[in-house]
Structure 1
Amino acid sequence: MSILIGKSVTTPQGGPVTLEPKYGNRHGLVAGATGTGKTVTLMTLAEGFSKLGVPVFLADVKGDVAGLALAGSGDAKVAERAAQIGVADYAPAANPVVFWDLYGKLGHPVRATASEMGPTLLARILELNDTQAGVLDIVFKLADDRGLLLLDLEDLRALLGVVADERKDISTSYGLVSTQSVGAIQRALLRLEQDGADQFFGEPALALADLMRTTQDGRGVVNVLAADQLVLKPRLYSSFLLWLLSELFETLPEVGDLDKPKLVFVFDEAHLLFDDAPPALQQRVEQVVRLIRSKGVGVYFCSQFPDDVPDNILGQLGNRVQHALRAFTPRDQKAVRTAAETFVANPALDVAKVISALGVGEALVSTLHDTDTSKAVPMPVERTLIAPPRCRMGAITDAERMQVRAGSPVGAKYDTRVDRESAAEMLAAKAHAATERVDAPKAKTQEDDENEGGFSQSVKDVLFGTKRRQGMVETMAKQTARTVGSQVGRQILRGVLGGIFGGSKR
């Protein structure tokens, strides 16, 4: 069973254009200008994979992908398009959907621990320079060496405080740490917290198995990430999706080529992943995309221009859907040429000319198929009418979203945050214990002084009575002492003088 993308209109006798499930893990690209139908194409693909029992993860940047959760309205124009393409059994239908949201408002909270995110991606989110990123590496290494859990932003702040306090010793053992770098990281963490990202770091962390669910009737669950607010923070958005993709790569076992993918991962607004990305990060993306195919995961990038994706990654995308591009500027004209050059030529089609003339809901499509002589060969490009999905093509209401969330199989697991003991609590307890050890001798001395003072006062009370009588006694005692002292002093003086004069007489 293949996924129907649409019907070829390159020639009058054009047939169906499909995507073979066994090549679904060979990745793909959906590109085109705003308003040309990219989102509908993504929904058609997601629905097709779900019917095959393949779970899907995709971001909802504009809020209309959420319509996958509800049945379509049965619009006459949609039914007419379905009939034109040849979909005989077309009927509106909903898909099994789970909503996710980093901020926990429009879906179940998505969380990851700071340790899982790692210093490299975290440095990208915080927009740190190389020196500051090096200090962050030291922070993570110090946490490992001292057995401290880094779960949330509070843990990072606490450990940065330790690094600042022990800067000289840490610089000797791990590398130079400056107070300026520590301060810059702390300010970046503050900005991140103000953006609401502190809700992302923590527990319970997202379990990848919950993204790879199927229903009892064998449908793949479509995981929709609410990204209308998240996309306004490009670094956080792209780094989160890259982290998720990296976790899949590192966790899933090797399975080779399967009859269908284990998961399809859709990266919308793909240019955000590569804008200002350092070479090391681009190499990481290339490595993941190249190797994750053998883990049974298909990655589909969605962007306006095909050259938003670097050439070394673009060359690995076997399934292409190109919607219209408007060649109004030199940048657009270059994109048109790039798109035309990446397709397998079709003698019946002038790609460079047609790509600017495509209507809404039309696209140039080339997918991998088997031929008589070889396998996984890109087919010649076809001008295609995209098949409509059976779900709602548009946004849903808050009440409808809440109803879908209420039936979610994972809500009880993720909706309540867990805050267990980690670096912040452990360091606070250690500091409290150290303070108590310092204060204990002082408290003991003060207690001894108080006890000694109380005993002396008791003796005075016994010997001399109340304070009033003590005052009288002390006054008399002072007068007596002065009198005695004067008499003794005079006797000593007389004795000394007498001795001197008496000696001189002799």
Structure 2
Amino acid sequence: MTQTPEDAAPPSAVDGAVAQAVAPGYAFEGAVLELGGLMLDAETLSDVRIRIPLAMVNRHGLVAGATGTGKTKTLQLLAEQLSAQGVPVFAADIKGDLSGLATPGAPGDKITARAASVGQQWQATGFPVEYYALGGEGTGIPLRVTMSAFGPTLLSKVLGLNDTQESSLGLVFHYADRAGLPLLDLADLRAVVGHLTSDEGKADLKDLGGLSSSTAGVILRELISFQDQGADAFFGEPEFESADLLQVAADGRGLISLVELPNLQDRPAVFSTFLMWLLADLFHDLPEVGDIDKPKLVFFFDEAHLLFADASKDFLQQVAQTVRLIRSKGVGVFFVTQSPTDVPDEVLAQLGSRVQHQLRAHTPNDAKALKATVNTYPTSAYDDLGGVITSLGIGEAVVTVMNERGAPTPVAWTRLRAPESLMGPSDPAAMQAAVAASPRHAKYAEAVDRESAREKLAVRLEEGARKREAEQEAAAAAKAQQAEEKTQQRAGRSTRPRPDAPARTSRRTSQQEEGGLVRDVVQSGAFKDFMRTAAREIARGMFKTGRR
């Protein structure tokens, strides 16, 4: 039966009927992640423990709820327990609070009371953490990706291109591959598009067929705007190897990799698509492992709504396919967002675990989203699940997970456990020291700028200038030769010697000597160096590749 949300408070359970219905669904035999205790109503807490089987975490999950309801603390709680059981974790640190995972938590009366209420033996604990930063903007090891690896599909999502423009961008990437022009950074792609829209590249543009000069111009303008936002820092080498996320500390605990996201509000699409690239790269590189006792990695995809907003149908299909298939690689994915309706149905259907914090129903749209959320849950023992969701307190959630047989567990109103690490940012100095000491800092810290598309196109332009110069010289020499032959023919027809013949011969000899001198200068190494430098400056001016 479908529940409908109402404004009234949820009714209390009578005689423990909820506990009797819920408890058998969470009696697992293998390793688990402890979430908290079952609440019978807003005041009454039972002794039933709500947990997730560790082996089912790679069936993916969702953590949802309005701002300030405790999603970040839930993520922290899950990351701690995964690490403790030897599972590496990757998460985006949106507000900087997750950096506290590296620091033991601060005890207090509230912590003690919550831990005691859910049967938790709380102990302040820090966990092994690795800090990353997109393009090195912030505290962390730089994360970069080459433009070729990022690909036209994800880039089209970032640039907000329509279907036609996305298809055209794919042709640009195809041309670069065919022409042997490595696309490593944003400047490389700009150089290629700039070449195709220039006089020198018109023939190449024509050969591409489906790419018009006007569409190429639109793509070039979007790339310039994208670069002006500072996005060029995210693309380049050394490219991050996603397998480095699958690290275990010396004590056997899983390494928690956190990526800092400064200025997220200015570049939201870059963040979400970069995370999607990481996920796709993991899928590409990792071997098939099937069903295993515990995941090889759990990937928390925060601010998930940014990934799906204004996404094309093809893009959504690729995301859904990646999420569906990466389970067999031993990777679990948790999407973190405000409402389950932020996630497309084809992706939402694959999320076996749900941790739903409070949703608010202050507007008609809120009420509609709440009703849609309730309809995604299996039948529950609560008469009004919508009322439960709107009345949840901070640190409480409605939970359903996938049991060891692959079936959904009963819906459980849960008071969540308290994280044992610091619920706030770690000390900046300690973070800097951790970054400097990491073996991956030496691997990724320094950017590499090897020869790629922009340099090759500059050389090609320079060679074209030399070829045109040689052709002009040859044409001038041929013209001079023709003039000389005509002069000799006229001289042969003349049988009467002229008084000024010696003078004419002298002038002709002088002109020939001057012509020879000019050709010697043109063919000299110094003159060619001068022309090469001039051509290089022209190329840099055209493609904006001059280094400052």
**TM-score by structure 1 length?**
0.84
Deviation track 1:415-473 (CA, whole Å, cap 9, x = no partner) reads: 10011111111221222233234445778989x999924999xxxxxxxxxxxxxxxxx
The answer on 1:148 being equivalent to 2:181 is yes
Return the match for 1:93 from 125, 128, 133. Answer: 125
Contact 1:337 1:352 in 2 (8 A): yes
Structure 1: distance between partners of 2:516 and 2:442: 64
Q: Which amino acid aligns with 1:452?
A: E
Match of 2:449 in 1: 419
Contact 2:358 2:391 in 1 (8 A): yes
Match of 1:107 in 2: 140
Structure 2: distance between partners of 1:449 and 1:128: 65
Structure 2: distance between partners of 1:451 and 1:224: 75
Q: Which amino acid aligns with 2:37?
A: K
Alignment of 1:49-448 (within 5 A): 49-88=82-121, 90-104=122-136, 105-165=138-198, 168-348=202-382, 350-370=384-404, 375-439=405-469
Local SS of the residue matching 1:22? helix
Q: Which amino acid aligns with 1:94?
A: G
Deviation at 1:52, TM superposition (A): 1.2
Structure 2: distance between partners of 1:415 and 1:450: 63
Match of 2:480 in 1: none
Local SS of the residue matching 2:90? strand
Local SS of the residue matching 1:13? strand
Contact 1:100 1:226 in 2 (8 A): yes
Tell me which moved more, 44-53 or 436-445: 436-445
Q: 1:134 to 1:310 in 2, by over 3 A?
A: closer
Deviation at 1:351, TM superposition (A): 1.5
Q: Which amino acid aligns with 2:423?
A: M
Q: 1:336 to 1:176 in 2, by over 3 A?
A: closer
Structure 1: distance between partners of 2:367 and 2:75: 25
Structure 2: distance between partners of 1:95 and 1:324: 28
Contact 1:61 1:231 in 2 (8 A): no
Return the match for 1:452 from 513, 524, 530. Answer: 513
Structure 1: distance between partners of 2:352 and 2:366: 23
Q: Which amino acid aligns with 2:155?
A: L
- Mark the runs of 5 or more structure 2 residues left unpaired by the alignment: 1-30, 478-508, 518-548
Deviation track 1:303-355 (CA, whole Å, cap 9, x = no partner) reads: 11111111221111110101111111112212222222222333256311111
Structure 2: distance between partners of 1:181 and 1:344: 48
Q: 1:5 to 1:423 in 2, by over 3 A?
A: same
Instruction: Count residues with an aligned counterpart.
Output: 450
Local SS of the residue matching 2:197? helix
Larger Rg: 1
Contact 1:167 1:178 in 2 (8 A): no
Contact 1:63 1:228 in 2 (8 A): no
Local SS of the residue matching 1:356? helix
Contact 1:231 1:237 in 2 (8 A): no
Local SS of the residue matching 2:105? coil
Deviation at 1:246, TM superposition (A): 1.3
Q: Which amino acid aligns with 2:222?
A: A
Local SS of the residue matching 1:403? helix
Q: Which amino acid aligns with 2:513?
A: E
Q: 1:451 to 1:332 in 2, by over 3 A?
A: same
Contact 2:135 2:144 in 1 (8 A): no
Q: 1:12 to 1:424 in 2, by over 3 A?
A: closer
Deviation at 1:47, TM superposition (A): 0.8
Local SS of the residue matching 2:439? coil
Q: 1:86 to 1:173 in 2, by over 3 A?
A: same
Match of 2:24 in 1: none
Contact 2:205 2:213 in 1 (8 A): no
Q: 1:449 to 1:329 in 2, by over 3 A?
A: farther
Percent identical pairs in the alignment equals 46
Structure 2: distance between partners of 1:12 and 1:150: 58
Match of 1:473 in 2: none
Deviation track 1:260-319 (CA, whole Å, cap 9, x = no partner) reads: 111111111111111111111111111111111111111101111111111221111110
Q: Which amino acid aligns with 1:26?
A: R
Structure 2: distance between partners of 1:317 and 1:154: 39
Deviation at 1:24, TM superposition (A): 0.6
Q: 1:436 to 1:174 in 2, by over 3 A?
A: closer
Structure 2: distance between partners of 1:449 and 1:359: 101
Local SS of the residue matching 1:276? coil
Contact 1:32 1:305 in 2 (8 A): yes
Structure 2: distance between partners of 1:438 and 1:246: 46
Alignment of 1:19-34 (within 5 A): 19-34=52-67
Structure 2: distance between partners of 1:415 and 1:250: 25
Local SS of the residue matching 1:410? helix
Q: 1:173 to 1:441 in 2, by over 3 A?
A: closer
Contact 1:69 1:94 in 2 (8 A): yes
Structure 2: distance between partners of 1:93 and 1:430: 59
Tell me which moved more, 211-220 or 76-85: 76-85
Local SS of the residue matching 2:149? helix
Deviation at 1:114, TM superposition (A): 0.7
- Mark the runs of 5 or more structure 1 residues left unpaired by the alignment: 457-506
Local SS of the residue matching 1:302? strand
Q: 1:228 to 1:36 in 2, by over 3 A?
A: farther
Contact 2:243 2:282 in 1 (8 A): no
Deviation track 1:355-400 (CA, whole Å, cap 9, x = no partner) reads: 1111111111111223xxxx12211111111111111101234323
Structure 2: distance between partners of 1:168 and 1:432: 17
Local SS of the residue matching 1:59? strand
Q: 1:423 to 1:171 in 2, by over 3 A?
A: closer
Local SS of the residue matching 2:254? coil
Alignment of 1:458-469 (within 5 A): none
**TM-score by structure 2 length?**
0.78
Contact 1:37 1:361 in 2 (8 A): yes
Q: 1:449 to 1:53 in 2, by over 3 A?
A: farther
Structure 1: distance between partners of 2:160 and 2:185: 18
Deviation at 1:259, TM superposition (A): 0.4
Q: 1:12 to 1:37 in 2, by over 3 A?
A: closer
Structure 2: distance between partners of 1:180 and 1:54: 50
